[in-house]
A and B are shown apart, each in its own frame.
Chain A
Amino acid sequence: MQTRQITDHEVSARVPVIEARDLRKTFESINAVDGVQFAVQKGEVFGFLGPNGAGKTTTMRMIECVSPRTSGTLLVFGNDPDIAPAKIKQQIGVVPQETNLDPDFTCFGNLVTYARYFDIPPAEAKKRAADLLAFVQLEEKRDVLIDKLSGGMKRRLILARALVNNPSLLILDEPTIGLDPQARHLIWERLKILQAQGNTIVLTTHYLDEAARLCDRLVIMDNGKILVEGTPADLVQRYVGSEIVEVEKSDRVLACLADMKVSYEIAGDMVQIATESARDIARALLDNCQPGKVITRPATLEDVFLKLTGRTLRE
């Protein structure tokens, strides 16, 4: 029987960029990552959301081959991080949660030195460093030491550093943490460009608007487990509904809502009602219950997040 040769291209189209099955990581007694399963496809922006301590960073570090897994399957570009870490690391770019630029070098020096770790020849490294400084709008800071940069500039430089090896997978652990809106928007724009160029991007974030804006698909993690997975719009529709009515809490309002048989959630001094038709609920409240302030708005990822992970504060 004649069998057709499967080309490399066809294989890479089918193999996910990252594939995790029953992936676990235990630190002494803590199950930081407790049996997660996910697959990231080529060209997508895949997000990990979750409160502090959910296990996002630990998951990223396993993918980056800097932290060995305790058990389970993990494949990056079809390779096992335990077996072929250098091969994987050659193809990924990492923006770590903690900024670790080299304070002994300038911005330009950081990029050139980092490029050398990837065996990029000096002339090529210098060219890329110059291009990348332009890409993150840091040309003016070319010869400035790291200590003299603002937080936003450091984060941009780290993004540039992560791109120095032309990675086909970019892993960003809270890329915009602590940045002002201008810096966040610049990073978002840049990530959009990178995505448009066909890069695969995995990111973690606390900022739900960031996730909604950037991610094609995302998971919400808590306590080392993945709670849900889907596109941002899907998740909102599936777990909350399309709209939210927020009304000031009072006994009258609560009694009214009980009469109307709508389920609600109390958030501080407000009551939140998830619904398909905010208008009808708001009208009913206004007509019959003498409410204080009433707000209607579209449901967001934040509502999903809070619904799934609760309102208790995390460390």
Chain B
Amino acid sequence: MQHLWAVPHISRRAWKVWQRNLEVFVKTWKVNFFPPFIEALLYLFAIGLGIGTYIGGIGGIPYIQFIAPAILAISIMNSAFFECTYGSYVRMYYQKSFDAIIATPLTIEDVIAGELLWGATRSVISVTMMIPVFAGFGVISLPLSLLVIPLAFLGGMLFAGIAMCFTAITPSIDTLNYPSFLLITPMMLFAGTFFPLTLLPVFLQYGALAVLPLTHLVIIARMFTLATLSWTIFFSLAWILVVTALFCVISINLMRRRLIA
């Protein structure tokens, strides 16, 4: 039995799995492309016209501009996470797609890598749909905000890796609800998204920086959309890179353990 952190061998064939998922996605583009677009609009109206009028601003920044990068970061998180939990689980368990593919020259490592890449691509697609809306309403600054697109790929890989670990160990599709409401929902609220991290007690701030992946994604996205770059971006980037690599590797090894008997 291989160790969980053994670096898996992945071939370029992984992209064929990515391509399969992309084709299915494009075939049903009408239901797939618009949700992020609509979501961005809904947030703009609810926050901009609603809540935003009660909240003057945060540190001199209009509230809607404060949360726009958080909405992008949350969308990065959700797209990859739900793709690589429910989406991958359906393909693995109900459709037996992975079984079919590993009878071809692809290995299980290739298949999971392809799924992870696809999860990250979903994040890229989501923010690519949202950025024009936010830009159109002038709540994010251009051109620096365009960097959120490559960031979405990195952040997407991060959450795809985390998601795939749960998919690899979940006994059924229902138990995937646990990580989504015990991990994803709290992160959505407490990772410096809708209010600044500094409002939390100090130990919780450090806690969030240490263990909540979304925190770092929000920090970087906010630097881009508010055009307020600082050197701490390297700390957050390094955190994301290391944790992404770790979870992606572990998820592939866990999947191998689950599927190759």
Majority SS at the chain B contact face:
loop
Some 18 contacts from A to B, beta carbons below 8 A apart, are: A64-B103, A66-B99, A66-B260, A86-B107, A96-B99, A98-B99, A100-B95, A100-B96, A100-B97, A100-B99, A101-B100, A102-B20, A102-B97, A102-B100, A113-B20, A116-B19, A117-B105, A119-B105
Closest CB of chain A to B105's CB: distance in Å?
A: 4
CB-based closest 5 A-B pairs: A100-B96, A117-B104, A86-B105, A100-B100, A94-B103
- Please indicate the chain A residues that have their CB under 8 angstroms from the CB of B13 in the complex: 117, 119
**B106 close to A (CB within 8 Å):** yes
**B182 close to A (CB within 8 Å):** no
Q: Is the CB of B106 within 8 A of A113?
A: no
Majority SS at the chain A contact face:
loop
CA–CA, A27 and B260, complex, Å: 12
Please name 9 further chain A to chain B contacts, defined as beta carbons within 8 Å, in addition to the given A67-B260, A105-B24, sorted by A numbering: A67-B261, A85-B105, A98-B96, A100-B95, A102-B100, A104-B95, A113-B23, A117-B106, A119-B13
Closest CB of chain B to A165's CB: distance in Å?
A: 8
CA–CA, A68 and B16, complex, Å: 24
Q: Point out the residue from B23, B100, B101, B105 that lies within 8 Å of A90, measured CB to CB.
A: B105
A-B contacts at CB below 8 angstroms, number: 57
- Please indicate the chain A residues that have their CB under 8 angstroms from the CB of B27 in the complex: 104
- Please indicate the chain A residues that have their CB under 8 angstroms from the CB of B97 in the complex: 100, 102
Count residues of chain B with CB under 8 A from any CB of chain A: 22
CA–CA, A231 and B20, complex, Å: 43
CA–CA, A101 and B16, complex, Å: 16
CA–CA, A118 and B102, complex, Å: 11
**Which chain B residue shows the least CB distance to A67?**
B261
Q: For this complex, into which size category does the number of interface residues on chain A fall? A: 20 to 34
CA–CA, A113 and B16, complex, Å: 9
Closest CB of chain B to A80's CB: distance in Å?
A: 15
Q: Is the CB of A66 within 8 A of B103?
A: yes
- Please indicate the chain A residues that have their CB under 8 angstroms from the CB of B107 in the complex: 85-86
CA–CA, A94 and B101, complex, Å: 11
Chain A 185-222: CB-based contact to B (< 8 A → 1; otherwise 0): 00000000000000000000000000000000000000
Chain A 268-301: CB-based contact to B (< 8 A → 1; otherwise 0): 0000000000000000000000000000000000
CA–CA, A165 and B105, complex, Å: 11
CA–CA, A82 and B16, complex, Å: 23
Given A90-B105, A117-B106 in contact, is the A103-B95 Cβ separation under 8 Å?
Answer: yes
Chain A 111-149: CB-based contact to B (< 8 A → 1; otherwise 0): 001101111000000000000000000000000000000
